[in-house]
Amino acid sequence: MNLDFTPEQDAFRAEVRAWLDENLSSRLADKVRTSKHLSKQDMEDWHAKLHARGWLANHWPEEYGGPGWGPVEKFIFEDECAMANAPRIVPFGVSMLGPVLLKYGSDEQKAHYLPRILDGTDWWCQGYSEPGAGSDLASLKTTAVKEGDHYIVNGQKTWTTLGQHADWIFCLVRTSKEGKPQEGISFLLIDMKTPGIEVRPIHLLDGDHEVNEVWFSDVKVPVENLVGPENQGWTLAKYLLTYERTGIAGVGFSTSALAELKAVIGKTEKATDPLFAARVARVEIALENMKTTNMRVLASAAGGAAPGAESSLLKIKGTEIRQEINALFMRAMGPQAQPFISEALEEGYNGPEIGPEGAAWAAKDYFNNRKLSIFGGSNEIQKNIVSKAMLGF
């Protein structure tokens, strides 16, 4: 693969950079850079700006509202957004459900849901994990029993990110107990306003309400909300997870975090520590190698193939890199990373600062990002996938 950018691609990078300079406010960029909590309005405003420019669904075909980019343009755009400290696009509608509908949805489902994802009419969340079904997702217990022209859904989902904002949830549900566990799962779209749905918050260590439990009690869902054939949802689930795992790699976010780490080091005693410098160098080399793999996977997806074990490799290495950068932040801050003031993560905080810039959010990012190697399929499960798919055992 030729990793040199063409003049046209360099011009595209300049175009993206100029647009970000004009449209990304310093207030929002600073909130992202300093890991402050983003409001729903922050995320919706950024969604709307990208949609107006035609850059929101950057991996969708042009006929459905995408920009028609190839993998290199997508990489450049995401890299520039991360380096500019733009908010991450909320992935559930655009990056997860969208590709599933494009490949497996009916014409009616595409015509109805895709435009509403783009214009922000519908905010989506993901209903995969359950208390007893995380990495072993096939053991899920939430049931959907067909009665006439509806399914009756009962069960519980957990770790539902931003579910408190969602209008709709795409769910894996059990529609049959026959055969292997994977053979009785279906992919269902559920309106969160349907009677019988309860969202219960889960507050994280930093006080943020990011994830939730979602309970279903005799929830009626029209049969036309089934995506793909009944009992074939596992195929759709795996297809969606390849996109999620590629995104979890977070190449652009690691690039941005590494640049911030380098800027912070000079203000600490680690500036002259050769062993610390060697750790920074190792993670930078790993990141550069991962960029190449990421572009390979994107090129495969652009050719119409769903990324396979390569996306698992990206998920493993990408999350390890991001966690190592978080650990280096903590080490650079030293004892000044220990105090935690949750109010410092809210916009408008003007209380006392502890240590150099970066100390306030070092611990928050370190602990919050321990989840990266767990969600989307734990790294241990990803290693099993790689072993079976690429090594044959």
So which residues are the catalytic ones?
Answer: 244
Q: How far apart are CA 216 and CA 146, in angstroms?
A: 15
3-state secondary structure of 340: coil
List all residues 6 or more positions away from 368 whose beta carbon is below 8 Å from its beta carbon: 204, 205, 206
Contacts 24+ apart (CB under 8 A), 21-24: 21/84, 23/49, 23/53, 24/84, 24/85, 24/86
- Burial of residue 354 (CB within 10 Å: 0-12, 13-18, 19+) is middle
Of the CA atoms within 13 Å of residue 138, those in its CB half-sphere come to: 13
Residue 220 belongs to what H/E stretch?
A: strand 209-222
3-state secondary structure of 249: coil
- Amino acid 137 reads L
Of the candidates 226, 224, 242, the residue with the CA atom closest to the CA atom of residue 389: 242
Of the candidates 140, 131, 146, 139, the residue with the CA atom closest to the CA atom of residue 171: 140
* Pairing, β 185-191 against β 150-158: unpaired
Decide: 298 and 291 in contact? Cβ < 8 Å. Answer: no
Residue 50 belongs to what H/E stretch?
A: helix 40-53
Q: 215 has which bridge partners?
A: 156, 198
3-state secondary structure of 298: helix
CB neighbours of residue 67 within 10 Å: 17
| Six-digit token string for 222 | 């029209």
CA distances from 277 to 254, 258, 366 (A): 17, 12, 19
Angle 350-354-357 (CA atoms, 0-180°, nearest 5)?
80
